[in-house]
Homo-oligomer: A and B are copies of this chain.
Amino acid sequence: MATPVKTMKAIRWYPPSFDIRVEDIPVPQIQDGDDAIVKVTVRSDLHVYRGHAGVEKIHTSGHEFIGEVVELGSNYGVHSQGRPELYATLKVGDKVVSPFTVNCGECNVCRLGYTCRCPFGALFGSPALEGGQAQYVRIPKAGGTLFNLSDSKSWSSALSDEAKTKALAGIADSSLLMLADILPTGVFAALQAMNHPKILPALSGRPWPASFFPGDASVTMLPEDRVLTFAIIGLGPVGLCACVSLLDMLSAQPLPFQIVAIDPVESRREKALAVYSKIDEAGKGSGKFVAESIDNAKKTVQDWTGGVGCTAVLEIVGNPSAISLAYDLVRPFGAIISVGVHGEPQMPFTGRQLYNKNVSFDFGRCPARAMFPMAFDLLVKRQDVFGGVGGPDCLVDQIVGPNEAPEIYAALTNRR
C-alpha cells in the first residue's frame, strides 16, 4: 500500500465568494470501511467559485477528478461479494474516475439507476464533502461510487472488454475527466428527449395513444409529421456534449431532424458549429444543425415548424429566462428536458400556461454513475469530436496544476 504524505496542497473555497486559496492541509484518512483514498491526477471545477447563498463553510473545491487508488477501507476484498462488484475487485493502484456525487450502489434508489439521489449522496467540493481540487480525496462508499478505469470487466457497456481496453488507451485524461459530470449530463439530456413518450408518435409513425395501444393505427401520418425539431438552450460544455449525444442518437434512426443550438455568446455558438463540423457525414444523420442567438432561434423554430414549435427542448442553463425560453419554443404536447441547476426563483409559469400547452417536463441532476456506460461508449465512438486539447472544438480547455488555480479561476470568471 502506498504511504500517503501527511499534508497536501488543496484549493480551498472561502465564503462568501470569489476567494480561492491554495493551502497545505492534512491528507484525508479512511473514516469508514467503505472509504477509499484517491490520489488525484486530473481535476476541474468552477461551479461554486462565485458563491452560493448560505454556504458558509470553508472546504476544498472540485467535483470532477480522476486519480489512482492509494488506500482502501477494511470492507474491500473477496469477502465483500454480494455487494457492488467494486467492493470485491478494487485494488490499490487502480485508475478511477468519480461521478460528481457519492452513491452507495446498493439501495433501492441506486438499484433503479437513480444514483444521483442516493440517500448517501453528497456533492464533492461542497460543504458536505471535500472535493478533488487537492492532491488526495476521500471517497465515501467508493465501491458504489467509483468507476474503475483499470478493469474494463467491472463496468459494462455495449463494447466488448477488448474494445473498451483498447479504446481507453487512446483517450486523453482530459477527455476521461468529462465522464465525471459534463458528458453523462449531456447524454442524460439527450436520452430523456429521445425516449420521451411525447416524441414516440413521430418516431414510431403511430399517433398518440396508438404508440402504446395496439387497437388504433387508423390515422396515416405524413412524412412531415415525423420531422423531429429540437432546441438546445445553453452551449457551455454540457450543452456541447448534449449536441454530440443527440446527433449520435439521431444518426441511428432514419427520420429527418432539425436542431437549433442556442446561446447569446457568439464564441460558444462557434464552438457548437465546430463540433458539428467535426462529426463525420454518416454520424450527422439526415438533418440540419444551426447555432443561433435567442431572437434568431425563435424565428428559426417559427419558420421550420410553421409556428408549431419544437418536439423537445433541452434546457441546460438553469435559470428562469432559460426555462421560459424553453416553454416559448416547445410545441403543444412537447417535452422540456431541464438538466440546468436551478436556484431559488419560483417557476415562471402559471398552471394555465402548462395546461394549455400540454407541456411535459423532466427536471434534475444527472445520475452520472448509472450513465457511465452510455457516456463512455459515446466518448469512444466520438473521439474525433471529443479528442484533443486546445483546439477551437475542444470541450476541456486547459489542465491546471493546483498552484495556478487562483489566477486561472479569476481569468475564467473575468472572461465571462
A residues neighboring B (CB under 8 Å): 85, 108-114, 116-117, 155-159, 188, 191-192, 195-197, 201-202, 207-222, 224-225, 308, 318-320, 323, 332-333, 338, 340-352, 354-365, 367, 370-371, 373-374, 377
Contacts and interface: CB of A to CB of B under 8 A. Distances in A.
B108 A224 contact: yes
A346 B350 contact: yes
7 contacts: A111-B220, A113-B210, A113-B211, A209-B371, A342-B354, A355-B363, A358-B362
Contacts of A332: 109, 114, 117
Contact of A344 (B192, B213, B350): B350
Contacts of A202: 112
B197 A209 contact: no
Nearest to A305: B108
B201 A192 contact: no
Given A112-B333, A347-B354, A360-B361, A212 B195 contact: yes
A346 B351 CA distance: 6
Contacts of A320: 351
A117 B208 contact: no
A114 B157 contact: no
Given A158-B213, A363-B358, A373-B213, A218 B117 contact: no
Q: Residue among A108, A188, A340, A363 with the most chain B CB within 10 A?
A: A363
Contacts of A361: 354, 359-361, 363
Given A347-B350, A364-B358, A215 B318 contact: no
Given A113-B208, A201-B113, A225-B111, A364 B355 contact: yes
A221 B106 CA distance: 10
A338 B359 CA distance: 10
Contact of A354 (B208, B360, B363): B363
Contacts of A349: 346-347
A360 B360 contact: yes
Contacts of A197: 192, 195-197
A116 B370 contact: no
A244 B201 CA distance: 25
B350 A157 contact: no
A343 to B, nearest CB: 6
A338 B363 CA distance: 16
A110 B342 CA distance: 34
A117 B355 contact: no
A79 to B, nearest CB: 19
A342 B351 contact: yes
A71 B371 CA distance: 59
Nearest to A192: B197
B191 A212 contact: yes
A342 B352 contact: yes
A215 B381 CA distance: 14
B344 A374 contact: no
Contacts of A351: 318-320, 323, 342-347, 363
A289 B109 CA distance: 24
Contacts of A217: 156
A202 B108 CA distance: 11
Contact of A373 (B155, B216, B370): B216
Q: Residue among A209, A352, A359 with the most chain B CB within 10 A?
A: A209
Contacts of A196: 197
A186 B201 CA distance: 21
Contacts of A360: 360-363
